[in-house]
Structure 1
Amino acid sequence: MEGFFARVKARAEALFREAPFYPWAEAIGHSALEALWARYSTPGLEALAAWAGPFRERVFREALEEAGGPPERARELAEAFFRERRRYPLYPEAEAFLAEARRRGLALALLTNGVPDLQREKLVGAGLAHHFSLVLISGEVGIGKPDPRLFRMALCAFGVAPEEAAMVGDNPQKDVRGARLAGVRAVWVDRGLRPEDPEASPDLRVGDLREVFLAEAL
């Protein structure tokens, strides 16, 4: 199954780069894999909503053909992927970490890349929306991580200086680099999924969110 998923990912990325809106998607950090399950229900994205169905089916059809599978199952698999991605699995310590941050009186902002409807659906579906007093979505503001302007928007909204804030994230290229460019402390939650960015070292590296408070990083 991992081999087939690798084919799906490769085909999705190749076809996504051919889409006429790809420069916009790249600017806001909207990925090819997210295009396989985004609804594109945000006003103004009607053209993407019409494009998405044929795109998904083509991705799975070509992946099946490469794998020697039955291409007639493309729509079935595309729809299954669309459903399965909506299970919203959470890291076990995420809820407790956010609750503890709020208990300590910390103001929480979520900075996320992607199209608005999908990112908000993820947040609500995961049951975490109530923890954040500010949510900045790249598809709404027009810029995405690691652009430091997105981080400065959050700083401005809270009325704090860069040295008074910290970014906690798991993406070295987007979270850590963006924070460093904005002059904000960067805490990298390294779950072994992404390589370190040699051009943007974090101020603190932890294995999971529980270690953030243990290290007194916030």
Structure 2
Amino acid sequence: MIKAVLFDLDGTLLNRDASVVTFIEDQYERLQQIIGHIPKRLYIDRFLQLDNGGYTWKDQVYAQLVKEFDITAVTSEQLLEDYLIRFNRHCIPFPAVKETLQQLRKLHLKIGMITNGKEIFQMENIRALGITQLLDVILISESEGVKKPDAAIFHRALKQLQVIPSESIFIGDHPVNDVEAARNVGMRAIWKRDNRWDAVKADFTIDGLQEILDIVRQLRASD
């Protein structure tokens, strides 16, 4: 019997790609007097390239930008601070995030989140999506001292939700950190399709979050 549904954040509930683009466009416009010697499109494209879908932390991204573009009026640390403070203002959810979580709660399911990243930064992004009250458990790798795909962080979340792996589903976009890791601990795994990867071995694949509801009903009916 499925009793809990757990989610990744970036690329699953948070449309991180779209959020980053809107943030970096805004940053360029606000700091144009400082970085205006760099063509806007070049600055944005290079940031996105260095960012590597969020898998390169921004201290390295900004250090490289400052070096490459000979930025002297602001430091990489100041650019990073601007990112940390303002990114949450640009958080864009995927369609039907709140509605899906609300409907899962109506099915009497426990809901959790496991995300890699910095604690304060990720919590601000979760709050920006307006979903904290819909989550029973939130585990962020920095505060937990362990990150996906380590099985320990999954077991920790399940223990807090008071469910066992076979009673749980995990939804994420990363084939290893999310899908493979969840399956390795005995959870069912749903891959939220991401064009960066293909042929991901998951129990289910979805394009939209509301598809989860039919999967839950299907699994409950088969138990």
Alignment TM-score > 0.5, same fold: yes
User: Which residue of structure 1 aligns with residue 211 of structure 2?
Assistant: 211
Aligned length in residues: 175
User: Which residue of structure 2 aligns with residue 58 of structure 1?
Assistant: 63
Please give the residue correspondences for 1:1-218 in structure 2 after superposition, counting only pairs within 5 Å: 3-8=42-47, 31-33=55-57, 35-36=58-59, 58-65=63-70, 71-72=71-72, 78=79, 81=83, 85-86=87-88, 87-192=90-195, 194-196=196-198, 201-215=201-215, 216=217
CA RMSD of aligned residues (A): 2.9
Structure 1 distance, partners of 2:46, 2:218, is 40
User: Which residue of structure 1 aligns with residue 36 of structure 2?
Assistant: none
Amino acid at match of 2:158: L
1:60/1:155 CA distance change after superposition, 3 Å: same
Amino acid at match of 2:64: V
Q: Give the unaligned 5+ runs of structure 2.
A: 1-39
Higher relative CO (Cα under 8 Å, sequence separation at least 6) belongs to: 2
Q: Please state whether the residue corresponding to 1:92 is helix, strand or coil.
A: coil
Q: Please state whether the residue corresponding to 1:209 is helix, strand or coil.
A: coil
Deviation string 1:89-132 (CA, Å, 9 cap, x unpaired) is 11121111111111111101110111111111111122111111
Amino acid at match of 1:105: H
CA contact (8 A) 1:60 1:74 kept: no
> 1:12: how far off?
6.6
1:207/1:4 CA distance change after superposition, 3 Å: same
TM-score, with structure 1 as normaliser: 0.68
CA contact (8 A) 2:115 2:141 kept: yes
Percent identity at matched positions? 23
TM-score, with structure 2 as normaliser: 0.67
Q: Could you tell which deviates more after superposition, 126-135 or 76-85?
A: 76-85
